[in-house]
Structure 1
Amino acid sequence: MRGIYSLLLKAFGPQGWWPVTPAGGAAPVYVPLRYGPPGEKGSFEICAGAILTQNTAWTNVEKALAALRRAGLMSAAALAACPLPRLERAIRSSGYYKQKARRLREFCRRVRKEHPEGFKRWFSATPAPALRAELMSCKGVGPETADCMVLYAAGKASFVIDAYTRRLGERAGLGRGLSYGAWQALFEAALPPDVKVYNEYHALLVKLGKDFCKKTKPLCGPCPLTKVCRKLI
């Protein structure tokens, strides 16, 4: 797995995940070689984005985040107090907007109640396993969403498994039909518990899945992993 990581990093370079909106900006920006927690506002934005990106493309999430920003709703306090119809209108582009509006508001209300110190201090003070478990106890926050929050918003090592990771893993012969936890254990056992490596590896696998290892009609010839992949399609 370290060999795959090296090949992908050489082919694509640092990806700059997770994108956050800079001060005075209008949209999230990818900043290569930036690792670790992005501060209070950035951590909140990543958590909101992690919920909004469920079952939709990131471009739709960017539209939703921009709408939230225009509406003055880019804070946990604002979302916690927002009427659902208004919130639904703002995030409509993300799909499943009624469900996501309820979950996003409930998430913000719970954080405000249980962690008035804010995202930055909460994340900094809580070990990754405990933070992951607490996040997963929130309605609508599953393993993948929680791991995105831990890795990108808190800057702590928790490997993210998504559809792209599973696809590459199965086609390369690393495993088949494994559960989320089994895939995560496989990667974490093979890699150092390094936030930088986990960050880049996840982002690089997404890049590979979008550009080469497509769900249908994968581009195996020019793929940077063509010499090491078993191509079990």
Structure 2
Amino acid sequence: MALPSLTRVFELLLERFGSQSWWPADDTFEMMVGAVLTQNTAWRNVELSIAALKEAQVMTPLALHRLEHQELQVLIRSSGFFQRKSQCLKNLAAVICRDYQGRVDSFLGGDLHAVRQRLLDQPGIGPETADCMVLYGAGLPIFVVDAYTRRIFSRLGLLDAKARYDMVQRYAMQHLPADTSLFNEFHALLVELGKVCCRSRNPRCEACPLNQHCRSAFSR
């Protein structure tokens, strides 16, 4: 079986699921907060935390910076790992307030590599979280890799299941045009496919729009 091109994969996913309009947030800082909160948890849990932060009127860098750790932990408890995540958010808010006069656009300003490294320098922010902020927050073209991406690319036969984050990212960016809108939509579509069809256990191959191109589906 010939391997499908990533462009064809994108086309099939878009045809099946339509535009995902991701990332759901009222502003860039809310998007960044969501990227931290969604680490190791389902988005529905993040939505509860975001709603609590908005209700408390602390969804700004300055408000989070001034908020006590214990208060923040209560507000984001639904997202899990709330102690670690509160520390990350407090640090992020402090840096934005101290070094960038509270301006999120200034914090995310610069070329792709500079912005990405700035984010990676912050405690609690790894490659996936940083890349989400680069793509959805700064609007710069970088391909976000997550567990869904690895699973789907592996089952399609494109990459080994144990391929490192940077290897998966490099593969995608070598086979797709460097387009922010494309990377944005593709990431969201892969997440949707992973939730609906390409599950870690009991995948629904019969309902998958990629099943005619998937080595894993043919082997079942």
Give the alignment's TM-score, normalised by structure 1: 0.89
In 2, the alpha carbon distance for the partners of 1:122 and 1:107 equals 10
CA deviation after TM superposition for structure 1 residue 121, in Å:
3.5
- Which structure's residues are more often helix, by fraction? 2
Question: What letter matches 1:12 in structure 2?
Answer: F
Q: Are residues 70 and 117 of structure 1, via their aligned partners in 2, closer, same or farther at CA, if it must alter by over 3 Å? A: closer
Contact 2:12 2:210 in 1 (8 A): yes
Contact 2:50 2:76 in 1 (8 A): yes
CA deviation after TM superposition for structure 1 residue 122, in Å:
3.6
What secondary structure is seen at the aligned counterpart in 1 of 2:13?
helix
State which of 73, 94, 118 in structure 1 corresponds to 2:103: 118
What secondary structure is seen at the aligned counterpart in 1 of 2:145?
coil
State the partner residue of 1:127.
111
State the partner residue of 1:141.
125
1:15 aligns with 2:20: yes
CA deviation after TM superposition for structure 1 residue 148, in Å:
0.3
1:53 aligns with 2:38: yes
In 1, the alpha carbon distance for the partners of 2:106 and 2:61 equals 14
In 1, the alpha carbon distance for the partners of 2:167 and 2:100 equals 31
In 1, the alpha carbon distance for the partners of 2:48 and 2:207 equals 32
- Residues 138-181 of structure 1, C-alpha deviation per residue, up to 9 Å, x if partnerless? 00000000000010011111110000000001100011111000
In 1, the alpha carbon distance for the partners of 2:87 and 2:111 equals 28
What secondary structure is seen at the aligned counterpart in 1 of 2:94?
helix
What secondary structure is seen at the aligned counterpart in 2 of 1:214?
coil
In 1, the alpha carbon distance for the partners of 2:106 and 2:94 equals 17
State the partner residue of 1:109.
94
Contact 2:62 2:102 in 1 (8 A): no
- Residues 31-65 of structure 1, C-alpha deviation per residue, up to 9 Å, x if partnerless? xxxxxxxxxxx110011110010000001101001
What secondary structure is seen at the aligned counterpart in 1 of 2:215?
coil
State the partner residue of 1:39.
none
In 1, the alpha carbon distance for the partners of 2:38 and 2:167 equals 23
Contact 2:61 2:102 in 1 (8 A): no
Give the alignment's TM-score, normalised by structure 2: 0.94
State the partner residue of 2:193.
208
1:193 aligns with 2:193: no
In 2, the alpha carbon distance for the partners of 1:103 and 1:214 equals 30
State the partner residue of 1:27.
none
4+ long deviations beyond 4 Å:
none
State which of 8, 11, 15 in structure 2 corresponds to 1:6: 11
State the partner residue of 1:152.
136
In 2, the alpha carbon distance for the partners of 1:222 and 1:81 equals 49
Contact 2:152 2:194 in 1 (8 A): yes
CA deviation after TM superposition for structure 1 residue 114, in Å:
1.6
Q: Percent identity?
A: 42
Aligned length: 212
Unaligned runs of 5+ in 1: 22-41
Superposed CA RMSD? 1.1
Question: What letter matches 2:128 in structure 1?
Answer: E
CA deviation after TM superposition for structure 1 residue 102, in Å:
1.1
1:75 aligns with 2:60: yes
In 2, the alpha carbon distance for the partners of 1:111 and 1:142 equals 18
Question: What letter matches 1:92 in structure 2?
Answer: R
In 2, the alpha carbon distance for the partners of 1:104 and 1:195 equals 25
In 2, the alpha carbon distance for the partners of 1:228 and 1:190 equals 17
